[in-house]
Amino acid sequence: MLFDLLVGDPKWSPHPVELMGFIINYLRLLVEKSAKENKIKLKIGGILITFFLILCSGLCGWAIERLFITFEDEDRFFILLILLISLSSALATKSLSQSVREVINLINPHDGKEDIKMARKKLSFIVGRDVHNLNKDEILRATAETAAENSIDGIFAPLFWMFIGIIFWQFNDSLPGPLTLAWIFKASSTIDSMLGYKEGNLKWLGFAGAKLDDILTYIPTRIVLITLPFCCRTKQSILTTIKQAWDDGSTDSSPNSGISEAIFAYCAGSRMGGENFYKGKKVFKPLIAKSAPKATKKSIKKILHLSLRLELIWLLGMTILIIFLQISN
């Protein structure tokens, strides 16, 4: 887990998400070709895609874990390295920070046209909304929102499921471990990001993946809601911050993204929400932290710092709890 903080995803190593994406695209074409416009067939096809990818991802993670557990101590180093790299692939601490900084570093006080154009291009890699007409303020808002939301999907949710896998191992090392559960979550998240749109065939094809992702992200999002205020200084109390974030975030149609954006908005002091366009269609998201100022480069960097600080606290807390469980046993 600290491996990702230090080096990020190894560039020389094929990323599991790329393979997942290739499989999802291939299976999507097969299902759409077979189901055509039939909603029931599309929905069943989406369930089968989700089941297949979850099963394959979980089995691959489980196989690596079996190798790590069954190898003798003197032969474990190489397998341990593979396990650490594989776990690192499920976390996006460094890649998220780099992607966000690439956008905000192109925003300058002079508002140069070439910088804005390139910032829109970089932003399009990490958001689903239309970016071609966004001005500087809207680029910064979109970047702040994706930094907040993706911190859950890319860091805290996989970290949570890794921890659950480690807890499983405390009772029986034959159970799914940290890599199995992390890759299952990553598969679910990838399906949701690629198919989880409420338009056309995807409304039915991505239904199962989107619902599964909501379920797997539900608890981690609420733990972040409760724990993030301990990492920041706000004018109001921690309980008030949590309540305000809950009230604002709960109005979002998503059970998780609104809450994740809201707690980061209040802790970083950055207003979020408003008018967005998705493939030309206007969508208005509820305003969050209305009294806070617009997103700035400083507030976005604060979101990244808060995310890193909370990740370290989670890691410390998990380590203490695991040690306690081992002593108890």
Check residue 150 and give its pLDDT: 94
Q: How confident is the model at residue 4 (pLDDT cuts 50, 70, 90)?
A: low
Name the percent of the chain lying above pLDDT 90.
62
Examine the pLDDT at 6 and tell me if it is beyond 50: no
Q: Which of 107-111, 222-226, 268-272 has the lowest mean pLDDT?
A: 107-111
Spatial distance between the Cα atoms of 111 and 311, rounded to a whole number of angstroms: 34
Average pLDDT, the chain: 89
Spatial CB neighbours of 278, under 8 Å, sequence gap ≥ 6: 128, 129, 130
Q: 245, 263 in Cβ contact below 8 A? A: yes
Name the percent of the chain lying above pLDDT 70.
92
When comparing pLDDT for 88 and 326, which is higher? Answer: 88
When comparing pLDDT for 69 and 271, which is higher? Answer: 271
- Going by C-alpha positions, the residue among 131, 101, 102 that lies closest to residue 117 is 131
Check residue 151 and give its pLDDT: 95
Check residue 113 and give its pLDDT: 55
Examine the pLDDT at 317 and tell me if it is beyond 80: yes
Spatial distance between the Cα atoms of 14 and 71, rounded to a whole number of angstroms: 24
Q: How confident is the model at residue 200 (pLDDT cuts 50, 70, 90)?
A: confident
- pLDDT average, residue stretch 296-321: 94
Q: Tens of pLDDT along 59-102?
A: 999 999 999 888 766 667 888 888 888 998 899 888 899 999 99
- Going by C-alpha positions, the residue among 253, 271, 260 that lies closest to residue 225 is 260
Q: 289, 131 in Cβ contact below 8 A? A: no
Degrees (nearest 5) of the Cα angle 293, 271, 260? 150
Q: How confident is the model at residue 201 (pLDDT cuts 50, 70, 90)?
A: confident
Spatial distance between the Cα atoms of 322 and 327, rounded to a whole number of angstroms: 9
Q: How confident is the model at residue 111 (pLDDT cuts 50, 70, 90)?
A: low
Examine the pLDDT at 325 and tell me if it is beyond 90: no
Token pair belonging to 327: 């002593």
- Which CB contacts under 8 angstroms, 24+ apart, belong to 248-256? 248/286, 248/287, 248/288, 248/289, 249/225, 249/288, 251/286, 252/285, 252/286, 254/214, 255/214, 255/218, 255/221, 256/152, 256/214, 256/217, 256/218, 256/221
Check residue 161 and give its pLDDT: 97
Check residue 36 and give its pLDDT: 86
Domain hosting 46: range is 2-328
Total count of domains within the chain = 1
Spatial distance between the Cα atoms of 185 and 192, rounded to a whole number of angstroms: 11
Examine the pLDDT at 110 and tell me if it is beyond 70: no
Spatial distance between the Cα atoms of 137 and 141, rounded to a whole number of angstroms: 6
Spatial distance between the Cα atoms of 320 and 36, rounded to a whole number of angstroms: 53
Examine the pLDDT at 7 and tell me if it is beyond 50: no
Q: Tens of pLDDT along 136-180?
A: 999 999 999 999 999 999 999 999 999 999 999 988 888 999 999
When comparing pLDDT for 280 and 39, which is higher? Answer: 39
When comparing pLDDT for 213 and 10, which is higher? Answer: 213
- Going by C-alpha positions, the residue among 33, 30, 275 that lies closest to residue 145 is 275
